[in-house]
Structure 1
Amino acid sequence: MKEIGQVIEKNGKILKIKFSSSEACHSCGLCKVDEDNLTLNAIDECNANLGDFVVVEVERKDFFQATFLIYLFPLIAFILGVILGYLTGERYNFDPQLLGFIIGLLFTLMSYPLIRLIYKRLSKKQKFIPVAKKIV
């Protein structure tokens, strides 16, 4: 994913970059939405200065991994919880649909702290951090 944005803040090798709204940016979740503008932090690989317009890239593989982690992991946890709850309910004479729903919600809620832990570990490797590649 490539987007062009303007550097609004610089702190060492970390840039804060402002983007105009686009469909691709709204769907990924890496940016902070501020009315019609989006901002994110990126690693400076092009020695940009305040006011410069830069090309920011997120590797496609990393983008899809982040999307999976944020959106699909909780969904999978919910589905597994529903299946487990349904099977447990049938086995122990509880309402299987209700127990499936409750355990599905619990699994979903438990997935968010796990996602946060995984994200923190991957952030140390700077895996999901966008990179400012060049000045335009």
Structure 2
Amino acid sequence: MEKLIEGVVLEVNQEIATVKISRHSECSNCGACPGDNAIILEAVDTIGSKAGQRVLIQSKETNMLLAAFLVYIFPLLAVGLGIAVGYYMTSLITVSPTLSMTLGGVIFGLAAIVIIKRLDLSLQSEKPMIIKTIK
């Protein structure tokens, strides 16, 4: 789902513009962004805007429920599955159940971290885009 945001261009460097936008209701309790009443972000400038212009920015909304699942629940499920696989592997090979369950949990947990890191890098590449200037 895409969201349209109004902002003012502070500076343009090649095709990346630094834009100051007003805070919205979703940011009222967070405080993670710089500035008291504004957020400064970088957006792809495909229309050739200039400093001081008011612009309309198109941004993709993130699904916070999916993000919370990926960060908190997915690693727990992966470690649990690794422990179960380790327990199952004990019947196939002659290794201590504690050792195989621990190794399974660690391996699956590390795999979950790698998967989350790759998903995070792919989502970061989607920058907001300036779509038009506002008079």
| TM-score for the superposition, normalised by structure 1 | 0.61
Classify 1:17/1:25 alpha carbon distance in 2 versus 1 (closer, same or farther; 3 Å): farther
| Equivalent AA in structure 1 for residue 77 of structure 2 | I
Of 100-109 and 48-57, the range deviating more from structure 2: 100-109
Deviation at 1:115, TM superposition (A): 3.1
| Equivalent AA in structure 2 for residue 18 of structure 1 | K
Classify 1:108/1:64 alpha carbon distance in 2 versus 1 (closer, same or farther; 3 Å): same
Contact 1:89-1:99 within 8 A present in 2 as well: no
Counting matched residue pairs gives 121
SS of equivalent residue, structure 1 residue 8: strand
SS of equivalent residue, structure 1 residue 54: strand
RMSD value over aligned CA atoms? 3.7
Contact 2:86-2:105 within 8 A present in 1 as well: no
Deviation at 1:88, TM superposition (A): 1.3
- The one-character-per-residue Cα deviations of 1:71-119 (angstroms, maximum 9, x if unpaired) are 5555535423421223313542228986676455423332344335545
SS of equivalent residue, structure 2 residue 98: coil
Contact 1:16-1:42 within 8 A present in 2 as well: yes
1:115 pairs with 93, 116, 119, which one? 119
1:12 aligns with 2:10: no
Q: Following the alignment from structure 2 to structure 1, what is the Cα–Cα distance between the partners of residues 132 and 117?
A: 35
Q: Percent identity of the aligned residues?
A: 18
Classify 1:4/1:111 alpha carbon distance in 2 versus 1 (closer, same or farther; 3 Å): same
Classify 1:35/1:86 alpha carbon distance in 2 versus 1 (closer, same or farther; 3 Å): farther
Deviation at 1:56, TM superposition (A): 0.3
Q: Following the alignment from structure 2 to structure 1, what is the Cα–Cα distance between the partners of residues 59 and 86?
A: 43
Structure 2 gaps, min length 5: 91-96
Structure 1 gaps, min length 5: 27-31
